[in-house]
Structure 1
Amino acid sequence: MLNRTILIGRLTRDGELRYTPAGVAVFTFTLAVDRPFTNNGQREADFIPIVTWRQLAETCANYLRKGRLTAIEGRIQVRNYDNSEGRRVYVTEVIADNVRFLESNRGEGGQDLGRQDQTGRENQDPFQEDGKPIDISDDLPF
């Protein structure tokens, strides 16, 4: 069985950072993702709730703002609860374990942020230097 999703969209508003009673960080935000078709010439979008946890949540809270183009990778989760009226409420959301900031954020400290995984470490893009010559100064065995 497989439950993986990849989404690219823009934040609809600034996200919300909270902490569980055990002190675990949780950052929630909504991602607007364009549909691949138009309806009478108008582009439609889906507004998808995203949840990140722990160090990734704190990193996202520091750098994600309304309108920022972002890619997320995660899994779809459906949970339910009974509201104050006694009715069952179902919530579908994406639990993100990888977040990529697709636009540079040079305005905050001059750093260009890349991909962050769930431990908060930056993953290096192996194709970042694509097309540039590679310096091979060692003798090759062939």
Structure 2
Amino acid sequence: MLNQVVLIGVLKSLPHDFTRDGMAYSQVELEVQRTYKDPDGQPQSDIFTVHLWRGLSEIITERYPEGSLLAVKGRLENREGICTIIAETVSFIHPE
């Protein structure tokens, strides 16, 4: 079986810190462009909330400002019927 998510998009917000079950975690928003445009020719995008555990939040806060192009590799978790994206690795993508 495989549970893997890969998103490439623009960092829309810096981490917001929380604590859950005594463990620190953060959330960021990532805007990901769709492969098609609307009838007016405008690009379409989705904004996903990505959950960061352990040191990933610190890495993003220290290295990447809002507007950075990032690749997020992670997994989906279903908790009480709510699907969440859990980041496992985050990489900066240099725009060309």
Taking structure 2 as the reference length, the TM-score comes to 0.82
1:18-45 deviations in whole A, cap 9, x for unaligned? Answer: 34463x3312101100000111111110
Partner amino acid, structure 2, of 1:36: T
Bigger RCO (CA 8 Å, 6+ sep): 2
Q: Is the alpha carbon distance of 1:97 and 1:68 closer, same or farther for their aligned partners in structure 2, counting shifts above 3 Å?
A: same
Residue in 1 that maps onto 2:36: 37
Q: Residue 5 in 1 paired to residue 5 in 2?
A: yes
Residue in 1 that maps onto 2:69: 69
Q: CA deviation at 1:16?
A: 0.9
Residue in 2 that maps onto 1:128: none
Alignment of 1:1-142 (within 5 A): 1-20=1-20, 22=22, 24-40=23-39, 41-80=41-80, 90-103=81-94
Partner amino acid, structure 1, of 2:83: T
Partners of 2:21 and 2:74 lie apart in 1 by 24
Structure 2 unaligned residues grouped into runs of 5+? none
CA contact 1:76–1:94 (8 Å) conserved in 2: yes
Partners of 2:66 and 2:84 lie apart in 1 by 19
Q: CA deviation at 1:55?
A: 1.7
Q: More strand by proportion, 1 or 2?
A: 2
Give the alignment's Cα RMSD to 1 decimal: 2.0
Taking structure 1 as the reference length, the TM-score comes to 0.58
Partner amino acid, structure 1, of 2:28: F
CA contact 1:73–1:96 (8 Å) conserved in 2: yes
Partners of 2:8 and 2:86 lie apart in 1 by 14
1:57-84 deviations in whole A, cap 9, x for unaligned? Answer: 222232333211110000012223xxxx
Q: What secondary structure, in the 3-state scheme, does the structure 1 residue paired with 2:74 have? A: strand
> Who wins on radius of gyration, i.e. which is larger?
1
Number of equivalent positions: 94
